[in-house]
Amino acid sequence: MCDCCGAEEPIRLTAPLADAEVAKLRAGQRVLISGVVYTARDAAHKRMAEALERGGDLPFDIRGQVIYYVGPTPAPPGRIIGAAGPTTAGRMDRYTPALLARGLKGMIGKGPRSAEVRAAIQQYRAAYFGGIGGAGALLAQRIVAVELVAYEDLGTEAIRRLEVRDFPAIVINDCYGGDAYEEGQARWRR
């Protein structure tokens, strides 16, 4: 507990995520993620889906990984990355269950997920994290290394491997069916 406000301390996670880490998470908890996450937005998800439909491989081993729905802006002089705020996760919903079935364990974005994705999160024991919208410049400070992985022609939407340190997020959907958005709305209706 925080001495000043009584809030729970954030849970520290290391990505890639182990099943045991995912099992401890509950909707509404604050987390700090360190380790490796991959970037992918709409265009990259479409290409990954097409590769899987053709029987091909994904550009990285997705088992245990976290995908951050971000298309960072170009890096300003002296920085490794530009602003890196989350994008709307719902745009990836049609592609997400197939990635979860192949071992994806976490996603970072903003906004709610479809019922199909929430069911797949439960079925495949994963978690969806809410990133802080509008704070891309601050979130970029939590990224300590960047490496291009695939689809360079997509520019900012290319897949990148990020090393993050204490990246802040909130568990929105846990592997037990918890939904922080729904729970928050219910709490305020009372």
Q: What is the pLDDT of residues 49-87, one digit of tens each?
A: 999 999 999 999 999 999 999 999 999 999 999 999 999
Looking at the domain assignment, is residue 85 inside a domain? yes
- 72: domain CATH number is 3.20.130.10
CB 46 within 8 A of CB 159: no
The series of mean pLDDT values per 10 residues for the chain, 190 residues long, is 62 97 97 98 96 96 98 92 96 98 98 98 98 91 97 96 98 98 79
Residue 111 falls inside a structural domain: yes
Does residue 149 belong to any structural domain of this protein?
Answer: yes
For residue 55, the SS3 value is coil
Domains identified in the chain, total number = 1
How many C-beta neighbours within 10 Å does residue 79 have? 14
Within a domain: residue 141? yes
Asked, for residue 107, whether it belongs to a domain, the answer is: yes
